Copies of this chain bind each other. A is one copy, B any other.
Amino acid sequence: MPSALSRGVANVAERAQLPPSLAISTVIFALRPGHEGCPTLWMPLVRRVREPFRGQWALPGGPLTAAESLEDAARRNLAETTGLAPAYIEQLYAFGGLRRAHRDEVGAQRVVSIVYWALVRADETALAGQTGLAGEQENVAWHPADPAHGGPGTLAFDHREIVDYALWRLRSKIEYAQVAYHLLGEMFTLAQLREVHEAVLGRSLDPANFRRQLKGTPHLEATDHYLEGGRHRPPRLYRYTGPRSL
């Protein structure tokens, strides 16, 4: 939404001198089958229907209005564009590098994006469509997050860099049991935990080595529950006991 000034008063040269405007975007990761059938990290994207970057995929987002907090704006923009309503959402980073403006229209008003992120369970990944405007379905879709797994190599604005930063955070700063808790729910098997590692790292791991390395992992606790199913020896369920914040 352009500000009153950029809409009405300013020409191109004046717009570039305006105070930066603010947008709120969201990076949502979920575990879904990848192109080889293995669980992979996916994210919802929205196709731009106007310039700049018309036709390209972008992160769900929009403006911050006067009457809402940053997190409320993130949730509202996400719900309006995708229909998603994650239980838990957190601030990732504020992006406002100068290159952002240069990759936009020439002389466009600078935009600073405050980005929120969330990890959601597969049962939370239904996108809006039926309830949306006509034609909205084909403009909102899940994509693999990593270009190495079939994700889009380019996105509108600097959104590719923002997603890469979110992937880096996921890979470097967060406990895998915590990621599993967010992506899978309260309880999960060690095989599911390994699949989360593989999805985040983007490569397969040896199951025996993986189980050995899990010894002493903080905040991972065996429960007295077992996964129900048709197997003669149902696997034990584990629980994440650490902090929820990403």
- Could you list which residues of chain A lie within 8 angstroms of chain B, going by C-beta atoms? 3-5, 16-22, 63-64, 66-70, 91, 93-94, 96-98, 110, 112, 114
Alpha-carbon separation in the docked complex, A16 to B70 (Å): 16
CB pair A64 B112 closer than 8 Å = yes
Our pick among B64, B91, B110 for the contact of A19 (Cβ within 8 Å) is B64
CB pair B114 A96 closer than 8 Å = yes
A-B pairs with beta carbons under 8 Å apart, 29 shown: A3-B19, A4-B18, A4-B19, A5-B5, A16-B66, A17-B66, A18-B66, A19-B21, A19-B63, A19-B64, A19-B66, A20-B64, A22-B22, A64-B96, A64-B112, A67-B98, A68-B98, A69-B96, A69-B98, A70-B96, A70-B97, A70-B112, A91-B93, A91-B94, A94-B94, A94-B114, A96-B114, A112-B114, A114-B114
Alpha-carbon separation in the docked complex, A22 to B24 (Å): 13
Alpha-carbon separation in the docked complex, A93 to B110 (Å): 20
Number of copies: 2
Which chain B positions have C-beta within 8 A of A18?
3-4, 66
What secondary structure prevails in chain A residues at the interface with B? loop
Query: If the complex has contacts A93-B91, A96-B64, are A19 and B20 also in contact, measured as CB distance less than 8 A?
Result: no
Which chain B positions have C-beta within 8 A of A3?
18-19
Alpha-carbon separation in the docked complex, A66 to B21 (Å): 11
Closest chain B residue, CB of each to CB of A245: B173
Q: In angstroms, how far is the closest chain B Cβ from the Cβ of A153?
A: 25
Which chain B positions have C-beta within 8 A of A21?
19
Given A3-B19, A16-B66: 14 more A-B contacts, CB < 8 Å = A5-B5, A19-B22, A19-B63, A19-B66, A22-B22, A64-B96, A64-B112, A67-B98, A69-B96, A70-B96, A70-B112, A91-B93, A94-B114, A114-B114
Closest chain B residue, CB of each to CB of A5: B5
